[in-house]
A and B are shown apart, each in its own frame.
Chain A
Amino acid sequence: MSAAAPVSASPVYTRENLAVLAARVEAAFGERLLGKEEKTQYIQFSVKAADAHDLARFLKEEPALGFTWFVDCCGVDYQRYPKAMPERFAVVTTLFSPALGVKAQVRAFVPAANPRLASLCDLFAGANWTERETFDLYGIVFEGHPDLKRILMPDDFDGHPLRKDYPLRGRGERGAFPVYHAVPLDNAPKEGEG
């Protein structure tokens, strides 16, 4: 059998700590919060783009909270969404606190005219690729990101496919995709030579 003894002391979801989290964040941020909503297993805080980095830093570095575990970061486009939203784009970051046993979500609203936001790469290494993906698919620029370039789409692609105004079938890129040849066509062996 295996050498190490299996243990089952996984952090356990503790619903009571959601109130602790809400109270701490409200005391520190108060009017800077655009909204707060308790979901099935976490609390979602909505803020303006300028406050997102401060809130993430507070969640991570406040000793009583300890949201040190990065979970996810993604974008949302609310263009023509049935409910009125403060801005067109949102960047949603999910964090996990092993000490409290709860998750927290920061939803930062980013204006369409100037989609810019402070990068969380200085706080979480996991933000690097997820922010690159959000930049790639939504065109939201993360200031202070060490290497902000496309990740899923080709480097020479034009446009941001997950925006609502980008058509499902594309803008004809598929048919007009440039073809790269390993050997330049001029040097390729002529028919009958090979």
Chain B
Amino acid sequence: MYSYEHEIEERTENTVRMNVGPSHPAMHGTLRVMMEVQGERIVRAEQEIGFLHTGFEKLGEHRSYNQFITLSDRLNYFSPLNNNIGFAIAAEELVGLEVPRRAQVIRTIMAELSRLADHSLCVGAMAMDLGAFTSILWTFVEREKLYDVFEAVTGTRLTTSYTRVGGVAFDLPDGFEKRVMTILDSMEETVEKLRGSFYKNRIFLDRTEGVGIITPAEIESFGITGPIARSTGKTYDIRKYRPYLVYNELEFDVPVYTQGDTLARYKVRLDEMDQSIRIVRQALRLLEPGPISALDQKHALPDKMSTYTDMESLIHHFKMIMPGPDHGLNPPVTDLYSATESPNGELGFYLVSDGGSNPWRVRVRPPSFINYPIFSKLLEGAMLADVVAILGSFNIIAGELDR
């Protein structure tokens, strides 16, 4: 029988071993932390992950590029649209496929709405972990409205599978702009309400200010990206670094704080929500009629309706979907790393292709997996109550952590 006794067995005087997780309400999914505690002070901590290992990378080698999009939903299940878009962009770069403008604008809007949904859950849940229950009710109301929009656009609330290699699966429904504009207004109000509730709240400040400080040098060495990096003075944001989709036409700022503590990470997320609202408002104006998927039918799926009525489209559909020699996407025999900015940071896909319809290797570079290792280092010397505060500000999603 496997024994956990060897973990942290060399103990100093007067310490107690303490285990939290993997099944614990404060651990956000299936994370496990083993701590050596002296009173309420943590002397040493050790993390264990892998409880939600699903084998997506192995499965991806046995599925076609378009089929992997359904797997990418399950990586970061709080912002599946960002994963869909990230993988589609990686596959399109691999085959050198040009995506029509309307599809790019739609993807930008959906990516930012998804970022809003992810951040609103994170800031709400983090304050809830610290005892402020109201904030999660406010943010959940907003997130619920966004999920209604996702349902109207993609047909599903959680596992959206919205993109296809070469474009998106469905066009936007009628009245989309008006509906989104209403949500953005109420979202803006909620962000302002959260600022009013927490920025001068003594209890919240005591629990977060100066807790879990990360230095800029640690950010680079660990490879941390996203809101956590931007809370330490780093300005790296892939939307600015190498603008994909239509980000180069949109005006937005990258919010940066320099303190590097839990409070700064909370503030960065709230400010990013403001910027996302700003981006969506501008991007809605860029929407023009046009095709939503690439017309290069050797690489992009044809419109679903035309496969029922048009012989040519049916042949292309068959060639793309059914297994067989020379069927499928057929990218060149090469490898490529491609990254997009997901709500948690750099979401990278390293694809190796053997020229067939399935990828030879799909490496997901999930932001959570790279951001999480520093956690046990931050716990050393911290109080037991800081565990939930720091973990909440990291927004670790077990789905993409363990894949």
Contact A168 B59 (CB under 8 A): yes
Interface residue from A70, A128, A152, A180 paired with B220 (Cβ < 8 Å): A70
What secondary structure prevails in chain B residues at the interface with A?
mixed
Given the interface pairs A2-B195, A98-B236, the reply to whether A11 lies near B350 with Cβ below 8 Å is: no
The contact string, 1 if C-beta is below 8 Å from chain A, for chain B 27-59, is 000000000000000000000011001010111
With CB as the reference atom, state the residue of chain B lying closest to A66: B220
> Which A residues touch B318, using CB under 8 A?
none
In this complex, which of A41, A105, A155 has the most chain B Cβ atoms within 10 angstroms of its Cβ?
A41
A148 within 8 A of B: no
- 3 closest A-B pairs by CB: A70-B223, A10-B240, A126-B223
Q: How far is the CA of A38 from the CA of B224 in the complex (A)?
A: 25
> Which A residues touch B50, using CB under 8 A?
150-154
Contact B255 A4 (CB under 8 A): yes
B354 within 8 A of A: yes
Number of residues on chain B facing chain A (CB within 8 A) = 59
Contact B241 A152 (CB under 8 A): no
B218 within 8 A of A: yes
- 12 CB < 8 A contacts A-B: A4-B258, A10-B240, A76-B352, A76-B361, A81-B360, A82-B354, A83-B333, A96-B236, A105-B337, A124-B223, A125-B373, A126-B373
Across chains A and B, the number of contacting residue pairs, with CB separation under 8 Å, is: 153
The contact string, 1 if C-beta is below 8 Å from chain A, for chain B 342-365, is 000010101010110000110101
Contact A2 B240 (CB under 8 A): no
- What is the distance, in angstroms, from A114's C-beta to the closest C-beta of chain B? 22
- What is the distance, in angstroms, from A130's C-beta to the closest C-beta of chain B? 8
Q: How far is the CA of A27 from the CA of B346 in the complex (A)?
A: 31
A40 within 8 A of B: yes
- What is the distance, in angstroms, from B214's C-beta to the closest C-beta of chain A? 12
Given the interface pairs A8-B235, A70-B222, A83-B333, the reply to whether A152 lies near B49 with Cβ below 8 Å is: yes
Contact A72 B348 (CB under 8 A): yes
B12 within 8 A of A: no
With CB as the reference atom, state the residue of chain B lying closest to A181: B1
Interface residue from B49, B223, B235 paired with A69 (Cβ < 8 Å): B223
Contact B241 A13 (CB under 8 A): yes
Contact A82 B58 (CB under 8 A): no
Contact A2 B254 (CB under 8 A): no
Within 8 A of A (CB), among B231-248: 234-237, 240-242
B78 within 8 A of A: no
> Which A residues touch B242, using CB under 8 A?
12-13, 41
Contact B337 A8 (CB under 8 A): no
Contact A124 B337 (CB under 8 A): no
Interface residue from B2, B253, B374, B402 paired with A156 (Cβ < 8 Å): B2
* Residues of chain B at the chain A interface (Cβ within 8 Å): 1-2, 49-50, 53, 55, 57-59, 62, 93, 195, 218, 220-224, 234-237, 240-242, 252-258, 267, 270-271, 275, 333, 335-339, 346, 348, 350, 352, 354-355, 360-361, 363, 365, 369-370, 372-374, 402-403
Within 8 A of B (CB), among A139-191: 150-156, 161-162, 166, 168, 178, 180
> Which A residues touch B369, using CB under 8 A?
129-130, 133
What secondary structure prevails in chain A residues at the interface with B?
loop
Number of residues on chain A facing chain B (CB within 8 A) = 55
With CB as the reference atom, state the residue of chain A lying closest to B336: A39
Q: How far is the CA of A12 from the CA of B241 in the complex (A)?
A: 4
Contact A7 B235 (CB under 8 A): yes
> Which B residues touch A151, using CB under 8 A?
49-50
Given the interface pairs A6-B256, A82-B333, A152-B50, the reply to whether A72 lies near B241 with Cβ below 8 Å is: no
> Which B residues touch A76, using CB under 8 A?
335, 352, 360-361, 363
- What is the distance, in angstroms, from A152's C-beta to the closest C-beta of chain B? 4
- What is the distance, in angstroms, from A58's C-beta to the closest C-beta of chain B? 17
Contact A6 B1 (CB under 8 A): no
A92 within 8 A of B: yes
Q: How far is the CA of A155 from the CA of B253 in the complex (A)?
A: 45
> Which B residues touch A94, using CB under 8 A?
337, 348, 350, 365
Other A-B pairs, 11, CB within 8 Å; known A6-B275, A8-B253: A4-B256, A70-B220, A74-B350, A81-B360, A94-B350, A125-B221, A125-B373, A130-B369, A130-B370, A156-B2, A161-B58
Q: How far is the CA of A105 from the CA of B49 in the complex (A)?
A: 27
- What is the distance, in angstroms, from B374's C-beta to the closest C-beta of chain A? 8
Contact B235 A126 (CB under 8 A): no
Contact A155 B337 (CB under 8 A): no
> Which B residues touch A130, using CB under 8 A?
369-370
- What is the distance, in angstroms, from A84's C-beta to the closest C-beta of chain B? 11
Q: How far is the CA of A92 from the CA of B352 in the complex (A)?
A: 11
Within 8 A of B (CB), among A6-49: 6-13, 39-42, 44
